[in-house]
Amino acid sequence: MGAGVVIGADGVHSVVRGAVADPAPPEYSGICAFRTLGPAASAPDFALRPAHTL
């Protein structure tokens, strides 16, 4: 099996990271993300778009 792109979003102990890079302990990057759930009616317009590009 092969892939042109692999996205690993499985956390600090990522199985994907270990499969595509040399094994190494996780290293803190200084970046933090906060997530929450809320009613869509309270979300700003930009957050209601059907797709987002990063």
Tens-digit pLDDT profile for residues 1-54: 777 887 777 777 778 777 778 877 878 888 877 778 888 888 888 777 776 555
In the numeric block, the tokens 């809320």 are attached to 38
Cβ neighbours of residue 12 closer than 8 Å, sequence gap 6 or more: 26
- Residue 12: the pLDDT is 73
The whole-model pTM stands at 0.35
- Residue 31: the pLDDT is 82
- Residue 40: the pLDDT is 83
- Residue 46: the pLDDT is 79
| Dihedral sign (CA 9, 24, 27, 54) | negative
- Residue 44: the pLDDT is 85
